[in-house]
Structure 1
């Protein structure tokens, strides 16, 4: 059976491996007490939230914090495992964990994207995107974290290499 195209496996490996420093250095900041991160990282987060008008990362609501906890305790340990599997290529054992991961992430991204698109930030205490252009710009930051997992899910479900049944001899 044909394996998944190597470009796709390399994309998945890059996605997972690049996610490790982003999670550790940026995404987990809202969960930790102020002053734990080096000033340069705190300033990077401040710049990002101002430049892209992302109130979710500056003062995350409790539902968003729950997603960050999931990222910290469920997804982060999976990133190096998945990065290895896709970098090596052809690892069929990654199928079920990748399906679980991609389904989980796609599910968490739907309320995030809906919040960005439909929340009335003019009534919020924290400045969020006000114009359609600002909403679409912020959406473009989050959208790859939906699209890549959907591509992973599609690959795991539809590619014959990952989708073939285990054919063991029965006695």
Structure 2
């Protein structure tokens, strides 16, 4: 499987997660669908996700960026992949947006991972519960981080000027 196919699958999975779970952090409860309320409740109670329960202002900001910037990137990359025909690639024109997404999502998730690691005991999570919650957030760091590195490498290879310049 190519990396573009993996990114396509990742984005395709992420769209419903964004629309059904993450946006509940910003949408007032009275406007949420019943499925959104149930998924949010499950996330908070079953996974003991104190970030979702507490919703610090910085988390709301990150979710707003996800809805305003990341969601359109997901959709645009999905469409690009589907239109690419037998090549099954995401357009190179979208690489800068994928790079920005990768950096933003990895940075956001890293903040969440650090906060969970540092604060888990304050919320009376057992070590097992803390590791479970860290395990849920870890892929949302690793995949975008890898994407950021991969797309950076692709952009450098595409740039002939970078190969000619010497870095002192």
TM-score (norm 2): 0.82
Instruction: Return the alpha-carbon distance in structure 2 between the equivalents of residues 94 and 30 of structure 1.
Output: 28
State the aligned residue count: 156
Q: Which has the larger share of helix?
A: 2
Written as runs of structure 1 = structure 2, the 5 A alignment for 1:3-152 is 6-86=1-81, 88-89=88-89, 91-119=91-119, 121-122=121-122, 128=123, 130-152=125-147
Q: Which runs of 5+ in 2 are unaligned?
A: 83-87, 162-168
* CA root-mean-square deviation: 2.1
TM-score (norm 1): 0.81
* Partner in structure 2 of residue 165 of structure 1: 159
Instruction: Return the alpha-carbon distance in structure 1 between the equivalents of residues 124 and 140 of structure 2.
Output: 19
Q: Which has the higher contact order (CA 8 A, sep 6+)?
A: 1
- The alpha-carbon deviation at position 13 of structure 1 amounts to 0.5
Find the residue that maps to 2:29 and give its secondary structure: coil
Instruction: Return the alpha-carbon distance in structure 1 between the equivalents of residues 36 and 159 of structure 2.
Output: 46
Find the residue that maps to 2:31 and give its secondary structure: coil
Instruction: Return the alpha-carbon distance in structure 1 between the equivalents of residues 121 and 31 of structure 2.
Output: 29
